[in-house]
């Protein structure tokens, strides 16, 4: 019958060395003895030579006696089986530790040590000894006895130790074996790894104007290890995940085959207060429409998310360099945030970047990061690996469903007010209803406007401000900008008038056309002055009109004597 590992006698390596050294010593003794006439004297001489030397055998065996040599020789029985010379000690196997602790003492002691509150060995020892005294036990083992048993148990039962004291995630991260993955088998864009990172520095929240810590939701290309797309999340908004993917697709100019991220519910719960899982948020449909497969990592499997290594480098190499760095926890707060650190507070700069500034700085750091060697292709940089991708000429309009959706807005006379700016398109003129806007923090020059039912209305451009005195103090560009905006106003006004004709009787239509379009005849000007006066928004507009059609009007002379005229025309 074949012996199993449990039935094979356990022999420590040190005992094996001692037995082999004893056998060698016996052979040397017998040879020394054969050359001597007086065997008894030879024995004493050999023992004396061994005990006074510094040979290799002496370092292993130590001092011997004549009786030891004869006893070992007899134990061999004429053979060279070194196992017969093994020291006859009782050695504890890996599952059997020799200790003077009783089963009851071990039970009390280990019950404390394996508590999830992670009681220290010293405290567990003190509490065990106290309980034993309370039970009336006279002999109490020494502290070192408990400590040696605890260290033996930890070293030989590390899985039980970690699971009991630290939990399943620690067991997965520290004890369980892991699978090494060969990223060289991938191509750029095959797999994007998604995760989020709470920024350890503050930015100005454009919605509130106050400093706050935002969350960066990023997508990392597994092959090149480059962060190809990200989104800054200031408030709880599930669309940030989709918007970050949209940015990644645009930057890559290709649609990934797989998106790999944390398990659905954990990914949701990590950044949002409610408990909806990924599968309950509609992302499956959005990803499937683009032909992307969604794969989730197992719970408590942090080693599977290669993006976490990137975020560690991001914190050490970028976040800690910013003046608004506040640390990721209480333990790593900078000195200026600690109590009574007046010197550091005086040294500290109060500069807090805006979202736009933070994005520019992050992009600059990403350029540096991408210039470093790629771990999956040591002879190439991250940027060189990334550049080898096969572009697909993606139409960004196909990705509108992935854009970040914000709250419902109401159309005002100047368009849509968003982040202290106005966004306008002629399609919005005449509407006073609520709409849904979609935007991207990386490009706030325009927003996309939808009805509440999801019907696309227009792309509204950000309205720029006009020079207050473009004709006199402005440049050619300022004057052209002013003219274009005036022409737009007139065009929209004509649009309203033409649209209104379908609702009015013919007599009123003729009156409107008469007021707006019919040329003014000088002889009839006085009779129609009341009508014409209602046409002008200000005195300057009236002056321009009269100079062209009735330059002899007395009102012109009166207007030229006013401060308003001198400010505008002198």
Distances (CA, A) of 456 to 289, 435, 438: 19, 10, 10
The backbone torsions φ and ψ at residue 206, rounded to the nearest 5 degrees and listed phi first, read -65, -20
pLDDT digits (tens, 9 = 90+) for 44-72: 999 999 999 888 999 999 999 999 999 99
The residues near 296 (Cβ < 8 Å, ≥ 6 apart) are 260, 261, 262, 263, 264, 267, 278
> Given this model, what pLDDT does residue 519 score?
46
* Predicted pLDDT of residue 282: 55
505 pLDDT band, cuts 50/70/90, is low
CATH architecture, domain 103-174: Orthogonal Bundle (1.10)
Residue (of 248, 188, 184) closest to 383 by Cα position: 188
For 88-116, write each residue's pLDDT tens digit.
Answer: 765 555 566 778 899 899 999 999 999 99
Pick the range with the lowest mean pLDDT from 90-99, 120-129, 340-349, 463-472.
90-99
The CA-atom distances, in angstroms, between 116 and each of 112, 126, 152, 164 are 9, 18, 19, 6
Please say whether the structural domain 403-462 has been given the CATH code 2.60.40.
no
> Which pair of tokens denotes residue 287?
């990803």
What is the C-alpha to C-alpha distance for residues 179 and 66, in angstroms, rounded to an integer?
A: 58
Collapsed DSSP state (helix, strand, coil) of residue 556: helix
**Domain extents for the chain?**
13-85, 103-174, 183-387, 403-462, 519-570
pLDDT digits (tens, 9 = 90+) for 374-423: 988 888 999 999 998 888 888 887 777 666 666 788 888 888 888 888 89
**Proportion of the chain above pLDDT 70, given as a percent:** 83
On whether the 183-387 domain is CATH 3.30.460.10, my answer is: no
DSSP 511-553: HHHHHHTSPPPGGGTTTTHHHHHTT-SSHHHHHHHHHHH-TT-
The pLDDT, as a whole number, for residue 263 is 61
Q: Which of 374, 375, 353 is nearest to 364 (CA)?
A: 353
CB-based contact 97:110 (threshold 8 Å): no
Please say whether the beta carbons of 69 and 26 come within 8 A.
yes
Is the pLDDT higher at 466 or at 3?
466
Nearest of 190, 551, 151 to residue 386 by alpha carbon: 190
């Amino acid at each position: 019958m074949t012996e199993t590992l449990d039935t094979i006698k356990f022999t420590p390596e040190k005992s094996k060395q001692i037995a082999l050294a004893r056998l060698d010593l016996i052979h040397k003794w017998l040879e020394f003895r054969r050359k001597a006439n007086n065997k008894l004297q030879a024995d004493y001489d050999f023992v004396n030579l061994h005990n006074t030397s510094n040979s290799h055998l002496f370092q292993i065996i130590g001092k011997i006696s004549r009786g030891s040599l004869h006893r070992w020789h007899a134990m061999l029985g004429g053979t060279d089986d070194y196992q017969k010379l093994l020291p006859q000690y009782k050695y504890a196997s890996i599952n059997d530790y020799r200790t003077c602790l009783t089963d009851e003492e071990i039970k009390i002691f280990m019950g404390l040590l394996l508590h999830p509150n992670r009681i220290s060995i010293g405290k567990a020892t003190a509490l065990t000894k106290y309980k034993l005294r309370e039970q009336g036990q006279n002999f109490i083992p020494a502290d070192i006895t408990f400590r040696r048993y605890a260290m033996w148990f930890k070293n030989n039962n590390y899985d039980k130790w970690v699971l009991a004291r630290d939990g399943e995630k620690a067991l997965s991260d520290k004890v369980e074996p892991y699978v090494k993955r060969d990223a060289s088998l991938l191509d750029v864009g095959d797999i994007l790894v998604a995760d989020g990172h709470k920024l350890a520095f503050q930015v100005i929240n454009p919605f509130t104007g106050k400093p706050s810590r935002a969350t960066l939701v990023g997508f990392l290309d597994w092959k090149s290890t480059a962060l190809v797309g990200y989104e800054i999340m200031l408030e709880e908004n599930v669309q940030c995940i989709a918007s970050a993917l949209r940015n990644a697709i645009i930057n890559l100019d290709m649609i990934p085959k797989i998106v790999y991220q944390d398990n659905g519910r954990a990914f949701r719960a990590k950044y949002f207060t409610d408990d909806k899982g990924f599968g309950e948020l509609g992302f499956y449909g959005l990803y499937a429409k683009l032909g992307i497969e969604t794969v989730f990592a197992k719970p408590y499997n942090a080693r599977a998310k290669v993006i976490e290594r990137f975020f560690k480098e991001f914190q050490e190499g970028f976040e800690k360099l910013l003046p608004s760095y506040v640390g990721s926890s209480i333990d790593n707060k900078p000195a200026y945030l600690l109590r009574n650190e007046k010197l550091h507070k005086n040294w500290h700069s109060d500069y807090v970047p805006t979202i736009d500034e933070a994005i520019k700085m992050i992009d600059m750091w990403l350029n540096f990061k991408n210039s470093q060697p790629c771990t999956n292709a040591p002879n190439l940089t991250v940027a060189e690996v990334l550049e080898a991708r096969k572009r697909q000429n993606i139409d960004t309009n196909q990705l509108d469903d992935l854009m970040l959706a914000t709250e419902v807005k109401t159309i005002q006379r100047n368009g849509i007010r968003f982040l202290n700016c106005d966004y306008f398109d002629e399609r919005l003129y005449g509407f006073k209803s609520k709409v849904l806007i979609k935007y991207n923090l990386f490009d706030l020059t325009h927003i996309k406007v939808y009805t509440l039912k999801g019907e696309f209305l227009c792309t509204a451009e950000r309205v720029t401000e006009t020079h207050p005195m473009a004709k006199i103090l402005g440049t050619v560009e300022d004057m052209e900008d002013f003219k274009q905006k005036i022409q737009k106003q007139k065009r929209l006004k004509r649009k309203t008038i033409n649209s209104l004709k379908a609702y009015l009787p013919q007599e009123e239509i003729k009156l409107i056309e008469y007021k707006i379009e019919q040329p003014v005849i000088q002889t009839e000007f006085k009779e129609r002055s009341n009508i014409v006066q209602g046409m002008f928004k200000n005195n300057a507009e009236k002056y321009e009109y009269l100079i062209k059609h009735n330059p002899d009007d007395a009102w012109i002379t009166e207007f030229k004597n006013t401060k308003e005229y001198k400010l505008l025309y002198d």
